[in-house]
Structure 1
Amino acid sequence: MNGTVYALYFSPTHTSRAVSRRAAQSLAEALNLPFEEIDLTPPAARGKAYPFAAADIVVFSFPVYGGRIPALLEDTLSLIEGNGAAAVPVAVYGNRAVEDALAEAADWLEARQMTVIAAGSFIGEHSYTAKVGHARPDESDLSQAAAFGAAIAEKLGRGDRSPVAVPGNRPYKDRAPASPGAPVTADTCTKCGLCVTGCPMGVIDKDDPAKIAPGCIKCCACVKVCPLGAKSFKDARVTAITKMLELTCKKPKTPAWFV
């Protein structure tokens, strides 16, 4: 067997990256294939074509935003050149629900001439609160991601590249309307720049991180990366959602996959 196994991911808070890497590395090792990463998180990485070969296997991992794929990925996904490659969409959600995100990702990949041979959903710490899905994916989650990769390798080793049924509704649920707002910055900020480099939208001013241009998607990358906890969201909508999550979504959920 030839080709390359790719971990393709958008991962502002690094949970999707961790799952994609572990699953793709396990798959590559089992099939004795080369492994490469494509990180769609930096703004410069999006908006350009990514061509794949028919023998390639692409593990595409992303965070679930409101039961859908992140809207900002649509333009990049439309530029993928699948050329018959095998695809594995992996949704990472904050212990609430996957809803239609996995099915939507599978549809995008199939539309780009890829065959969805497997799919999975995993849990990450919720962007809004560490009290929901705390410290996940943990080692148990990542061990399951490795087992997922091994199961895909076993399928391909049998010469089976058949498409897999992916759960979700079509048409997808409506996206929640975007709300304005950005994190506030406390006086404890030392202007270290970690939030600037970690922002997937490139909207935080490098000279004054308290200045944030329009375009924030509330991914909380800046909140999670700040070593001093100097960034936080204070707007009423985020506060209300956070309270709801902490009341209703604390019971740990488990990964699921389809091969």
Structure 2
Amino acid sequence: MTRTIRTLFFSPTHSSRKIALAIADTLAAALGAKKEVQDVTLPEGRVPSKPCGPDDALVLAFPVYGGRVPQVLEALLADLEGQGAYAVVVAVYGNRHYDDALLEARDLLTRCGFKVIAAAAFIAEHSLTPKVGTGRPDDADMQRVADFARAAAEKIAGGNPAPVTVKGQRPYKERGPAAPVSPKTGEGCTECMICVASCPMGVISAHNPRLVSRGCICCFACVKSCPEGSKYFDDERIAQIRAMLESKCGARKEPELFL
């Protein structure tokens, strides 16, 4: 039976995608496996996944939001069928902390029948400010990604590896209340609709990109993708969080690997 590396990622600003695919490529090459990729960033990608077989391995990668797994993924992950498959879990965070996100993801996959044998927390440029985690994941980070993937492949190849222990606490960090904020649009907007196509919640109007309905998760995908720099947030709470990050989270943090 051919082993399959199934890769599932949520990646509004593309860092989780980059790391997930790098890990999957290394696992597939090391284990002689085929690859399947499911990008669940956009609503149309959030469809039920095929059940995994006991010889398969799942790579799950996501950005940390408020120290947790993104809430939009909860139902999707709860419906996965592991059937004894291995899993490698990656939380990507903006140089503050990943809090309980890895533990939460490991618990979710374990309940679905996966054996989580490796986990890691990698750093990316913070979505709210390029002054925190600037340019990450950088070359050094991607070398750690490669090393981590090779170590995970060795565990899988060795047969029946033990589940991994990760940092985090239960009950998980309480989610903050949903903030009724949404991006604004400057006069430079050309209505190219790139922001519409990049919005993981589908809340930017396809007819008028200046109109945003409720449900924005402040992932900043629209801000990062706008070629004219015309999408922005002017909410005072976001400004306060940005100021806190820039004043307290500038020191470089390194990836944490659990094998």
AA of the residue aligned to 2:231: K
1:33 pairs with 2:33? yes
Counterpart for residue 9 of structure 1:
9
SS of corresponding position for 1:35:
strand
AA of the residue aligned to 1:159: G
Contact 1:83–1:114 (CA under 8 A) maintained in structure 2: yes
CA distance in 2, matches of 1:142, 1:35: 20
Contact 1:23–1:147 (CA under 8 A) maintained in structure 2: no
Higher mean C-alpha displacement, 45-54 vs 167-176? 45-54
Contact 1:9–1:17 (CA under 8 A) maintained in structure 2: yes
AA of the residue aligned to 2:186: A
Counterpart for residue 257 of structure 1:
257
Counterpart for residue 196 of structure 1:
196
Counterpart for residue 91 of structure 1:
91
Contact 1:191–1:207 (CA under 8 A) maintained in structure 2: no
Following TM superposition, the consecutive aligned residue runs of length 4 or more in structure 1 with deviations greater than 2 angstroms are: 47-50
AA of the residue aligned to 1:20: A
Counterpart for residue 105 of structure 2:
105
Deviations 1:76-130 (A, max 9, x none): 1111111111111100000000100000000000000000011000001111001
Please give the root-mean-square deviation of Cα atoms over the aligned residues, in Å: 1.2
SS of corresponding position for 1:117:
strand
AA of the residue aligned to 2:223: V
CA distance in 1, matches of 2:51, 2:218: 30
SS of corresponding position for 1:151:
helix
1:67 pairs with 2:100? no
AA of the residue aligned to 1:130: P
CA distance in 2, matches of 1:101, 1:60: 12
CA distance in 1, matches of 2:82, 2:22: 22
AA of the residue aligned to 1:153: A
Higher mean C-alpha displacement, 233-242 vs 37-46? 37-46
CA distance in 1, matches of 2:48, 2:209: 28
Deviation, structure 1 residue 2: 3.5
Contact 1:47–1:75 (CA under 8 A) maintained in structure 2: no
Deviations 1:130-175 (A, max 9, x none): 1101121122211211111100111122224211111110111111
Contact 2:86–2:156 (CA under 8 A) maintained in structure 1: no
Counterpart for residue 128 of structure 2:
128
Counterpart for residue 239 of structure 1:
239
Once the two structures are superposed, the pairs formed by residues 39-78 of structure 1 within 5 Å of their partners are 39-78=39-78
SS of corresponding position for 2:205:
coil
Contact 1:106–1:116 (CA under 8 A) maintained in structure 2: yes
Counterpart for residue 221 of structure 1:
221
Deviation, structure 1 residue 207: 2.1
Deviations 1:169-198 (A, max 9, x none): 011111111110101000101111111111
Deviation, structure 1 residue 50: 3.7
CA distance in 2, matches of 1:138, 1:223: 21
Deviation, structure 1 residue 205: 1.0
Q: Aligned residues, how many?
A: 259
Contact 1:47–1:79 (CA under 8 A) maintained in structure 2: no
SS of corresponding position for 1:216:
coil
Unaligned runs of 5+ in 2: none
Contact 1:90–1:102 (CA under 8 A) maintained in structure 2: yes
Identity %: 49
Contact 2:86–2:115 (CA under 8 A) maintained in structure 1: yes
Counterpart for residue 179 of structure 1:
179
